[in-house]
Amino acid sequence: MFLDVLLMPATQPLGNINPSRDVGNGRKTSDKTQSPYAKRLGMVALVLAVACMARDSIAQTGKESIDVPPHSRLLLRAVGSGDQVYGCVNGRWALEAPDARLLNQEGSVIGRHFAGPTWQLNDGSWVKGRAVAKQIASDATAVPWLLLESVGGAGRLGAVRFIQRTGTHGGNAPDGSCSQSAMRRVPYTATYFFYEAGQ
């Protein structure tokens, strides 16, 4: 309805028509003022532009969020301690895989974290994830915080739907170029939260 009002042509009294304006022969008119119709079209364009910017802003904010969906239930919390393993691809460092132990709150090893990315507990249960969102870590040397979605699993961790990686320290790719086939291990730690879907 708002757009209908903006698009409705404004009525113009006959007294405002300038008979000296020559519209049909291609000469420029000397009348510099915009018609009410042109002003309304400009207003419509402005409203649409603002709406598009607001939509893009909301979408960008959503991508930066690593929050799990509402009603998700925490199944397990573990600390990952180990290395991010980088290989040289076309003269630049590229992540190959994590290689870390999973520790419980008492510091005991309860599993491991490796390529996939995959998390596997000592009981054999496992979950593999796919990153769906990330946030830059406050520590400049740290790998980003992530939200990952399960793409498969079994056993206790088979119930996991989302994994959060937060509290990261270290693990960023080495600086500079590299020689083909070179490998580098960069120590890191992170906290992993494993969530199952709520009812």
Q: Measured in whole angstroms, how far is the alpha carbon of residue 110 from the centre of its chain?
A: 30
Task: Judge if 95 and 190 occupy the same domain.
Answer: yes
What average pLDDT does the segment 104-119 reach? 97
Pick from 35, 64, 93: which residue ends a domain?
64
Task: Judge if 112 and 170 occupy the same domain.
Answer: yes
Residue 190 has pLDDT above 90, yes or no: yes
Task: Judge if 87 and 107 occupy the same domain.
Answer: yes
| pLDDT score at 54 | 38
DSSP β-bridge partners for residue 193:
77, 164
pLDDT digits (tens, 9 = 90+) for 5-15: 333 444 444 44
Non-local CB neighbours of 7 within 8 Å, separated by 6+ positions: 40, 41, 44
Based on the structure, what is the number of domains in the chain? 2
Task: Judge if 137 and 177 occupy the same domain.
Answer: yes
Task: Judge if 121 and 56 occupy the same domain.
Answer: no
Residue pair 143/169 in contact (Cβ under 8 Å)? The answer is no
| pLDDT score at 198 | 77
Encoded tokens for 43: 């207003």
How far is 181 from 162, CA to CA, in rounded Å?
34
Rounded to a whole number of angstroms, the CA Rg of the chain reads 29
What average pLDDT does the segment 118-130 reach? 98
Residue 175 has pLDDT above 60, yes or no: yes
Bond prior to 117 in cis (omega within 30° of 0): yes
The CA-based angle 114-120-126, given to 5 degrees, is 115
Banded model confidence at residue 64, pLDDT cuts 50, 70, 90: confident
Banded model confidence at residue 47, pLDDT cuts 50, 70, 90: very low
130 vs 12 pLDDT, higher one: 130
Residue 63 has pLDDT above 50, yes or no: no
Alpha helices in the chain (DSSP H): 2-7, 36-64
Residues spanned by the domain of 151? 73-196
How far is 54 from 48, CA to CA, in rounded Å?
10
In single-letter form, the type of residue at position 123 comes to: D
| pLDDT score at 151 | 97
